[in-house]
Amino acid sequence: MEELELICFQLITFAGEAKSAYMNAIQRAKLGYYEEAENLIQEGNEAFLNAHKVHAELIQKEASEEENIIPNILLIHAEDQLMGTETCKIMVNELIEAYKRIDALEKKNK
């Protein structure tokens, strides 16, 4: 049980780091700092990959019947954070592309 709690906190931490980087990327892109935004996206992707690795290890443990994992509120919360971060990642990339298009159109119309 203690190991599962540690895994959950790792998932929550990595997902939170990724989500923060993604949200900061939106703010930088909104101001036209696309290179900074791209760096933040990469930072977020690294944290998200770490979360995904922890999650994959947990799934492998259960699949190999090494451990019977009993879901609890903390695990559900960790899973929710991971899924929410993945959605955030997708939306941030779409928003940044939209900002770039808007900037290009505004420059064209000047």
- Reported as a single tens digit per residue, the pLDDT across 4-50 is 999 999 999 999 999 999 999 999 999 999 999 999 999 999 999 99
Domain ranges of the chain: 2-108
| Enzyme catalytic residues | 77
H/E/C letters for each residue in 52-83? HHHHHHHHHHHHCCCCCCCCCHHHHHHHHHHH
- Reported as a single tens digit per residue, the pLDDT across 40-87 is 999 999 999 999 999 999 988 888 876 778 889 999 999 999 999 999
Q: Give me the architecture of the 2-108 domain, per CATH.
A: Up-down Bundle (1.20)
CA-wise closest residue to 47 among 6, 16, 90, 79: 16
Which residues, other chains included, contact 25 with Cβ-Cβ below 8 Å and sequence gap of 6+?
A: 36, 37, 38, 40, 41, 44, 92, 96
Mean per-residue pLDDT over the chain, rounded: 94
